[in-house]
Amino acid sequence: MTRWTTATLLTALTLTGLTGLTACSDDDTPSSVASVASEVASAASRAGDAVASATAEAGRRFDDIKNGVDAEDDVRLGTPATASDGRTTVGVTAANSADSAKSYAVQVDFTDGSGKLLDAVVVTVRDVPAGGSGKGTARSTHALSGDVRAKVARAVRY
């Protein structure tokens, strides 16, 4: 399944629109423009579906946790980076203030510069010792481009 980012869609629309405006349909609308508009709308819908799917999966992961407590204040994220495959990664550090070893489920939302949700993933940091910290890495489910930011959407200690 192809995943489309806004930048990719705009580039495709621009390039296709500039190179294919010669064929016409019966209603005086260039057929290539109508076709490109349809393809862009379809791709945008698939991109929205991908984000909705990732968010739903994150919700299911949290639903499976029993007796968890809110731990957003215990979690810090590093700076997002782009891996060689185009996926965005970010380091996750969970500090355990409890008196026994705990695990953490952390939902990381990847957004663009305006705050629009691009992807959501859940990373588990297991067996963090009492008074210690543990590390993990959140990795986007698909390639992201542009000004990608990461934030802790929610975190649970269990």
Closest CA to 157 of 96, 111, 104, 82: 104
> Is residue 121 a contact partner of residue 108, using CB atoms and an 8 Å limit?
yes
pLDDT tens, position by position, 41-99: 444 444 556 666 666 666 677 777 888 999 999 999 999 999 999 999 999 999 999 99
pLDDT tens, position by position, 21-56: 333 434 444 443 333 334 434 444 445 566 666 666
> Is residue 75 a contact partner of residue 122, using CB atoms and an 8 Å limit?
no
Torsion of CA 63, 115, 143, 85, to 10 degrees: -100
Q: 158 by DSSP, 3-state: which? A: coil
> Is residue 108 a contact partner of residue 54, using CB atoms and an 8 Å limit?
no
Bridge pairing between strands 75-77 and 69-70: unpaired
Model-level pTM?
0.65
Nearest-angstrom CA–CA distance, 90 and 26 = 51
